[in-house]
Amino acid sequence: MQQYICENYTGDKRKWWIADFKQRYCQQPFEHALVIMCGNGWVERGLYDQGIAKKFSAFDYLDDLLDHAREARDGRDIHYFQADANTLELNANRYDLIVNVAAMHHVQYINRMCRMLCHALKPGGVFVNTDYIGPHRNQYSLGHWSCIKQVNRQLPEQFRKKPLNKPHLGTMLNMDASEAIHSELTFKMISRYFDIVERHDTNGGIAYPILNNNYGFSKELTPEMNQWIDFLLEKDRDYTVSKKVPPLFSYFIAKPNKQSLLKTRQVELHQLMENAREAVASRRNGIYYWQDYVKNRVDRFIRHRVQKHKV
Contact 113, 107 (CB under 8 A): yes
Question: Once rounded to an integer, what is the mean pLDDT over residues 240-268?
Answer: 97
Question: Once rounded to an integer, what is the mean pLDDT over residues 103-110?
Answer: 97
pLDDT at 289: 84
Using DSSP's 3-state secondary structure scheme, residue 142 falls into helix
CA distances from 49 to 75, 192, 251, 289 (A): 11, 32, 21, 43
Over 90: is that where the pLDDT of 29 sits? Answer: yes
Over 70: is that where the pLDDT of 300 sits? Answer: no
Of the candidates 35, 5, 56, 18, the one whose C-alpha atom is nearest the C-alpha of residue 103 is 35
pLDDT at 39: 96
CA 32 to CA 69: how far, in whole Å? 18
Question: Once rounded to an integer, what is the mean pLDDT over residues 174-197?
Answer: 96
- pLDDT tens-digit readout, 57-92: 999 999 999 999 999 999 999 999 999 999 999 999
Comparing 96 with 293, the larger pLDDT belongs to 96
Over 70: is that where the pLDDT of 298 sits? Answer: no
- pTM recorded for the entire structure: 0.91
pLDDT at 303: 64
Question: Once rounded to an integer, what is the mean pLDDT over residues 229-233?
Answer: 96
Instruction: Give me Rg for the CA atoms of the chain.
Output: 21
pLDDT at 221: 83
pLDDT at 294: 75
Contact 224, 184 (CB under 8 A): no
Q: Mean pLDDT check: name the lowest of 46-55, 106-115, 167-176.
A: 167-176
